Amino acid sequence: YDVCYAETEEEKREYIEYIHGQYNSERLTGILRNLTDIIGAHILNLSKQDYTPQGASVSILIAEAPLKDHEVDPTNNRGILETSGTAIQANLEALEKANQAHLDVQGTAIQAHLNTSHVSVHTFPESHPSRSISTFRVDIDVSTCGRVTPLVALDYLIGNFESDIITIDYRVRGFTRNTAGTKLFNDYPVRSIQDFISIETLDDYNTMDVNVYHSNLYHTRMILREIDLDRYIFNRDVHEICESEQAEIRQALEREMLEIYNGRNIFEES
């Protein structure tokens, strides 16, 4: 979540327009492409959409290992969005060479472990109807199986969105088997999601864990420790605002952030 103080209706509208431009489907696509590289997956299909008046979505179908062209369903675009037939053919040839090089190193046995998964992102800008608070939420869902794990990409995602509040859920579903046939319900030991986030990042946030270990459910919440008004006041110079008004703005931001962080209404509307 990103929280902003936009005082007038015009400023609220401009903030929403800014977010809509800053986090459009084109930029989100680039972030998810990099995410796919980080977790070691391969794109089978990509779709994106900017919505009117606001919001954007990107969805990527991924595979754990590279596939040759004849193995990919013809309805998949493999992340190639150009409309030019020549550009598509050139990209397909480049992808085939890269995939073949990977297979030469990995060996064809990896084909037995192929699993498809997906990565998606959706944005939700909004404003309070009568107060000067606007927020922006981005939901990122990474569903993987096999040896691909999304946990290694947490620092990258946090760094790209510079969020004020973050909620992270990690769930292990299903099972695999070892060579003796014994079911393994969690083959990737996790104590806390925080173990996969850098110390430098964690230093900026207060955090809380709610984990249900026997169900393989892990949940971490994060909220920025310090509120620097320069980052929150939209289109106004904080130095031109008197101290009493600054204190009111800070309190409004703190209350909004605490309610989002705790997932419930705490302060009475007045």
- Residue 239 in any domain: the answer is yes
- Residue 159 in any domain: the answer is yes
Looking from the CA of 144 toward its CB, the CA atoms found within 13 Å total 23
pLDDT reading at 111 higher than 70 = no
How much is the average pLDDT of 215-240? 93
Pick the catalytic residue: 47, 59, 143, 145? 145
- Number of Cβ within 10 Å of residue 214's Cβ equals 7
Domain that holds residue 257: 2-64+115-262
How much is the average pLDDT of 75-86? 68
Of the ranges 54-68, 181-195, 239-253, the best mean pLDDT one:
239-253
Active site residue 242: no
- Residue 232 in any domain: the answer is yes
pLDDT higher at 69 or 255: 255
- Residue 83 in any domain: the answer is no
Active site residue 117: yes
Q: What is the pLDDT of residue 93?
A: 59
Backbone φ, ψ for residue 158 (5° rounding): -60, -40
- Residue 96 in any domain: the answer is no
- Residue 86 in any domain: the answer is no
pTM value > 0.85: no
- Residue 59 in any domain: the answer is yes
Low-confidence winner among 74-83, 131-140, 144-153 (lowest mean pLDDT): 74-83
pLDDT reading at 104 higher than 50 = no
Q: How many domains does the chain have?
A: 1
Pick the catalytic residue: 117, 132, 134, 163? 117
Pick the catalytic residue: 118, 122, 128, 219? 122
Confidence class for position 216, pLDDT limits 50, 70, 90: very high
Structure tokens at 112: 């037995």
Contacts of residue 20, defined as CB under 8 A and 6 or more positions apart, other chains included, come to: 50, 53, 54, 55, 56, 125
- Residue 234 in any domain: the answer is yes
